[in-house]
Amino acid sequence: MRLIIAGFGTVGQGFAEALSKRADMLSSSYGGVKIVAAFDSKSYAADKNGLDPIALVKRKTDTGSVGADKMKDGIDVLNSVEYDILVEASPTNIQTGGDGLRYIEHALRHGKDVITVNKGPLALKFKELKKLADRKKAMIRFEGTVGGAMPIINLCCEDLKGEKVRSIRGIFNGTCNFILGRMDNGLPFEQALKEAQYMGYAESDPSYDIEGIDTACKVVILANSVFKRNVRFSDVSITGIASVNAEAIALAADQDMVIRLIGEVSDTVLEVSPRLIPKGHPLSISGTLNTAQIIADMAGPITISGKGAGRIETASAILSDLIAVMEKRR
Ligand code: HSE
């Protein structure tokens, strides 16, 4: 399979490393994977015979650019190389969908399969992209957009195929959860936010985390994929954690509760808000882990937890989508 990687930031680089780590397995079980092009916002590298993933990461680390060649628009790269799958890891833009949306649309229009970790395009245009993919007999997969390494979309849509998922409630933003957990221990909001930023989990504009925007994007993706709804970001009722102060945390603690930012989705609910959670409940965890409780008709509650972000962790989700595509195309 010939891949193009669009976006060579943390996740794009992590994915290149994951390809190198799993090269033997990909080659023996799936006939191998070749990166025929990779691009970031300014530069690209392309070779129809395949690029060395680790050399790409090294060049990006050493020079700040993935390729020696300057690039105006990633679409030119998509048009210039023969490929099968676009792995899209460009920066998220929740207002317009950004370049990532253009790349995804372009690839699908040309019948190419797409794997994306970009929340913006899916939160804005899920149904349109799915329809386009179906019309062109292409696949679009996006496990890494929700919960990072925590398997949730493919778990609900594939492993729980015979189920009726009634609802999902979860912690889908590591930054907010880290902040709230630190506030439980008496740290002021601002200081907790600084720590979260230092850990590299927060979005480049942390108001996306704090105001619940990031969680809302994830809730939209779950609603459209797992619940087959047709909703957009603007349909979500969103309250972030900016109003959660030390007094509210202390009042919750008096009742043996903690406050956590919860995203909830079902056939009728689409909400992000700080909620009181009893101490000891799976959703009362502290730290950056994501956790979700799926309520299924026959199976009952299923709880999952895992790293919601990170270089190699998110790459693990991309790799599972990649293998699913390769199995279907075989
Ligand atoms: N800013 C996000 C978080 C990153 O804190 O969970 C993963 O989407």
The CATH number of residue 239's host domain is: 3.30.360.10
Taking residues 275-283, what's their average pLDDT? 98
In this structure, are 130 and 197 located in the same domain?
no
Tell me what the mean pLDDT of segment 32-55 comes to.
97
DSSP string, 42-103: SEEEEEEEEE-HHHHHHHHHHHS-S-SEE-S-HHHHHHHS--SEEEE-PPP-TTT-HHHHHH
Residues 133 and 78 in one domain: yes
The CA distances from residue 213 to 168, 220, 263, 296, 304, in Å, are 18, 11, 11, 26, 22
Tell me the backbone φ, ψ of residue 72, rounded to 5 degrees: -90, -45
Whether the predicted pLDDT of 330 surpasses 90: no
Q: Which residues line ligand 1 (CB under 6 A)?
A: 148, 173-175, 201-203, 209, 214, 308-309
270 and 243 together in one domain: yes
* pLDDT tens-digit series, residues 195-246: 999 988 888 899 999 999 999 999 999 999 999 999 999 999 999 999 999 9
State mean pLDDT over 36-51. 97
Tell me which residue range forms the domain holding 318: 2-147+311-329
Residues 52 and 169 reside in one and the same domain: no
Cα dihedral 297, 299, 305, 311, rounded to 10, equals: -80
**8 and 141 housed in the same domain:** yes
Q: What atom in ligand 1 is closest to the CA of residue 201?
A: 5
In this predicted model, what pLDDT tens digit does every residue of 140-183 receive, in sequence order? 999 999 999 999 999 999 999 999 999 999 999 999 999 999 99
Looking at the structure, tell me whether residues 161 and 106 fall in a common domain.
no
Name the residue of 150, 176, 198, 209 whose CB sits within 8 Å of the most ligand 1 atoms, as the mutation to test its pocket. 209
Same domain, 7 and 143: yes
Ligand 1, atom 8: nearest CA belongs to which residue? 309
Residue 317 and residue 262 in one domain: no
Same domain for 122 and 214?
A: no
Instruction: Say yes or no: 185 and 261 in one domain.
Output: yes
What are 71-111's pLDDT values in tens digits? 999 999 999 999 999 999 999 999 999 999 999 999 999 99
Q: Provide the domain count of the chain.
A: 2
Percentage of the chain surpassing pLDDT 70? 100
How much distance in Å is there from the Cα of 61 to the middle of ligand 1? 23
Q: Is 218 tagged catalytic?
A: yes
Q: What is the CATH number of the domain that holds 64?
A: 3.40.50.720
Exactly one of 194, 218, 228, 279 is catalytic; which is it? Answer: 218
Same domain, 82 and 207: no
- In sequence order, the β-bridge partners of residue 167 are 266, 295
DSSP 118-159: -HHHHHHHHHHHHHHHHHTT--EE-GGGTTTTS--HHIIIII
pLDDT (0 to 100) of residue 139: 98
Are 123 and 250 within one domain?
no
